[in-house]
Structure 1
Amino acid sequence: MKEFDAIIIGFGKGGKTLATELAQHDWKVAMIERSDKMYGGTCINIGCIPTKALIHQAELATLKKGLSFEERKADYRKAIAFKNNVTDKLRQKNYDNLAGNPNITVYTGEGQFVSPEIVRVTTKEETFELTAKHIFINTGAETVIPPISGIQDNPKVFTSTTIMELEELPRQLIIVGGGYIGLEFASMYASFGAEVTVLEGFSALIPREDRDIAANVQEVLEKKGIRFILNANVQSVTNGEKEATLTYKDTASGELNTLQADAILLATGRKPNTESLNLKAAGVEVNERGAIIVDEYLKTTTPHIRAIGDVKGGLQFTYVSLDDYRIIREDLFGNRDRATTNREPISYSVFIEPPLSRIGMNEEEARKKNLNFKVNKFTVSSIPRVHTIGKTEGMLKAIIDADTKKILGCTLFCPESSEIINIVAIAMKTGQDYTFLRDFIFTHPSMSESFNDLFRFKL
């Protein structure tokens, strides 16, 4: 049995950064990754990087007018090749960064607990056991596959991972799920030239957002040609010679309806990837959603075992996983001043066109808390910058506490929102009054100068 100072199961953002940190402290580290296609984790291989690379290519595709569908298919194939080149390079770079470190040993195989201190590794060639005083679980999340008849092993049914390997642009695409992932893919494939239909089981899209924001998002995406069907409970999928037929039930009327498409994308959520870890042998408990239970320093119910990133549930973002690394770093080598309890608020972005970004409370949440709050909002078309780039759709919305003058939340559905939301995040994190953004001197013309007006409240 080989002994290490630390074992990390999963080559994701938080785990790989932690491995380098531990190695700098002369710890001997074992990094276990079950797939040679996942060095670097979800973000680099099947998440943020490839999707954003394709979204950028899709935006470029919208600039080409009058193309035939065959020409758009050719552009799509080039986009897939571009995406593959980007991910291949980053995957290799991530592997080399760890494998080239003398204090880190990378094992390509599946890790499974034998006991709280021992992990069995099964590679293509052999099975062996490792032991360490510190073990970190960084296995991420996987797509939830709903119990729909006809989708198992169906070549016309894809997940958000497998559809990015599809080299032929589908003429008709059905997306099952109107959440953030579904909307990102809907926006992207519509920009490439596919006819996109989104099926949502609930009566409204993106329920976490205020209804005025959600309505504006739906309106803008419908202008791109995306069709939305709400209250749609998918019953089955059957394949014909060229197309798949999807049957869904309208839960409002009880009617059964059918749709045809070349491809069907399941965007039905993600769940923590824990099933093969044998956590019971390690004494590591999970909650009702299968997420590993951790304390504010990411310790599991077996304290020398910690969980990093998506596997512990909560917000599934690469930058949250990176902050998990910082929490562990400070707990092991610093003054323990970082914890999950003090990192709010956290912003997020949905990369539709234009992108949707938010931080803090929305209006409905502020109302439920019975706060004395003020709301300000306006359409994107009033911002000078959007006219210089020809992107005039969307809206901005801010909420402040009328008693404390602090910013409660902000939602930006506008060009460059994924960048400028960080300005609001900094203001909130440093405890600034809303007047800080109201009176700040921004460059002109820029999207950020819109905060001068967005935070102009009358108290």
Structure 2
Amino acid sequence: MRHHDLVVLGAGSGNAVIDDRFAGLDVAIVEPGPFGGTCLNRGCIPSKMLARTADVADGVREAGRFDVDAVLGGVRWTEARERVFGRLDREAADGEAGRRRSDFVTVHRGRARFTGERELLVAGDQGEVRLRGGQIVVAVGSRPVVPAAVRDSGLPYETSDTVMRRRTPPRHLAVLGGGYIAAELAHVFHTAGSRITVVEHHHTLLEPQDEAVSRAYTRIARSRYQVRTGVTLTRLEGEPGRLRLVLDDGSAVEADTLLVAVGRTPNSDTIDADRAGIALREDGRIVVDAHQRTTAHGVFALGDVCTPVPLKHVANREAQVVAHNLLNPGDLAVTRHDVVPAAVFTRPQIAQVGLTEQECRGRGLEYTTATRRYADVAYGWALEDTTGFCKVIADPGTRRLLGAHILGPQASTLIQPLAIAMSLGIDAPTLARAPYWIHPALTEVVANALLDLGL
């Protein structure tokens, strides 16, 4: 059994734990797949690169609104796919090569399972290796959920792990699920030429978003795709290339390709956590404290396998906390998840931070809201935007923001000053009045929404 001072399971955000401060230690990284994890190889980054391609194509289609004569010749899917994954596959390979060149890091390619307290069995292409770590970081991520009706059918299906590497766009793509992954990939493939049908059991798409955003996005999606809400898949039948989704209302959707995008589940069930004394929550997430420590001595966890907020920027922050705590056991850092902005890179973009209005009602909070449309500000005119808006929610007593929600161009950027204010305790009137807001930049929609709170 080989001993390492530190063993990191997972080379996504887990890889970010290790820097030159660990050079005096014997460190191992265990990873079964390409370095970079879900985000680099099959998640955040390729989906946003392809979404940007879709945005450019849609911009050409809509050029007439700006008195520009332009004709879209089409999206060259094969070239776009090669551009995206040619770059990302090199990044993954370079990341692994860099670690292998390190004089203090050993890379073990394979899947790790605990066999005892801080003891592991790694099974890979080169056989099995037994390891023991003085300390261990579990960062093995998550994977797409596949409902039994799909899994047991024996018929082919795609997930976010696979669909972006398709050689050609589907003719008719049925998207099972109405969350952010479904929204982004529907946008990508619709622009690439696929007919889209979305099947969602909730009555609106992006149901966890603020109700105003969810309703608005559902209306927009219905104008582009066939959208079936309030229905559940009961069985998948047919044959490859001719699939039939049978729904619980007796209707059916026929498509050549099915994308399953109903959520993700932690990979904690792949590591035999119980043998190491690592406790799990009912939903499969590893139990961690505020310092990212598991219930097993000397074992930390980070990212999708444990976090309540499964986002890459959250995993990266947790990696920073874990790195600090590994090196400074007498001065432990704390992870906070109370103010986490997030964005959906569909068309239009969507971004949020803090509570939704329905959450405020559910908690019995006193609150006030204000909404300002993009069409109310000068740059909204420049964009010819008719659907975008910024909605802010504040506590009338403290005048601090409780939440903010934006639908429209640049939403993922516009949300950031609101997230900063919530993180630093800056109240809404101060944020609206203290800084200059550039005129006629789109940020005026944020400033005006804050002023409309009347606090």
Task: Find the counterpart in structure 1 of residue 199 from structure 2.
Answer: 199
Q: Deviations over 1:47-66 (max 9, x none)?
A: 11110111011112223449
SS in 1 for 2:147: coil
Task: Find the counterpart in structure 1 of residue 413 from structure 2.
Answer: 419
Q: Deviations over 1:139-183 (max 9, x none)?
A: 00001110115765533x111111111111112111001112111
Equivalenced residues, count: 444
What TM-score does the superposition give when structure 2 sets the normalisation length?
0.92
Question: 1:26-425 alignment to 2 at 5 Å?
Answer: 26-35=24-33, 38-65=34-61, 72=74, 75-148=76-149, 153-155=154-156, 157-223=157-223, 225-240=224-239, 242-250=241-249, 256-334=250-328, 336=331, 338-340=333-335, 342-425=336-419
Letter in 2 for 1:310: D
Is contact 1:150–1:236 with CA below 8 Å preserved after alignment? no
Q: Deviations over 1:107-145 (max 9, x none)?
A: 111111111121111121221211111011110000111
d(CA) in 1 for partners of 2:258, 2:112: 32
Q: CA deviation at 1:238?
A: 2.4
Is contact 1:386–1:415 with CA below 8 Å preserved after alignment? no
- Going from structure 1 to structure 2, the CA distance change for 1:76 and 1:200 (only over 3 Å counts) comes to same
Is contact 1:380–1:393 with CA below 8 Å preserved after alignment? yes
- Structure 2 gaps of 5+ residues are 62-69
d(CA) in 2 for partners of 1:67, 1:273: 46
Q: CA deviation at 1:401?
A: 0.9
Letter in 2 for 1:189: F
Task: Find the counterpart in structure 1 of residue 66 from structure 2.
Answer: none
Task: Find the counterpart in structure 1 of residue 12 from structure 2.
Answer: 12
- Going from structure 1 to structure 2, the CA distance change for 1:198 and 1:350 (only over 3 Å counts) comes to same
Task: Find the counterpart in structure 2 of residue 455 from structure 1.
Answer: 450
SS in 2 for 1:120: strand
Is contact 1:40–1:94 with CA below 8 Å preserved after alignment? yes
Q: Which moved more, 1:367-376 or 1:258-267?
A: 367-376
Q: Deviations over 1:361-389 (max 9, x none)?
A: 11122223333321101222222223334
Letter in 1 for 2:119: I
- Going from structure 1 to structure 2, the CA distance change for 1:337 and 1:113 (only over 3 Å counts) comes to closer
Q: Which moved more, 1:235-244 or 1:128-137?
A: 235-244
d(CA) in 1 for partners of 2:53, 2:39: 18
Is contact 2:352–2:406 with CA below 8 Å preserved after alignment? yes
d(CA) in 1 for partners of 2:281, 2:151: 30
d(CA) in 2 for partners of 1:133, 1:333: 13
Is contact 1:217–1:394 with CA below 8 Å preserved after alignment? no
Q: Deviations over 1:308-359 (max 9, x none)?
A: 100014111111111111222332335746313x342111111111111111
Structure 1 vs Structure 2: percent identity of aligned residues?
Answer: 25
d(CA) in 2 for partners of 1:168, 1:3: 47
- Going from structure 1 to structure 2, the CA distance change for 1:149 and 1:326 (only over 3 Å counts) comes to closer
Task: Find the counterpart in structure 2 of residue 253 from structure 1.
Answer: none
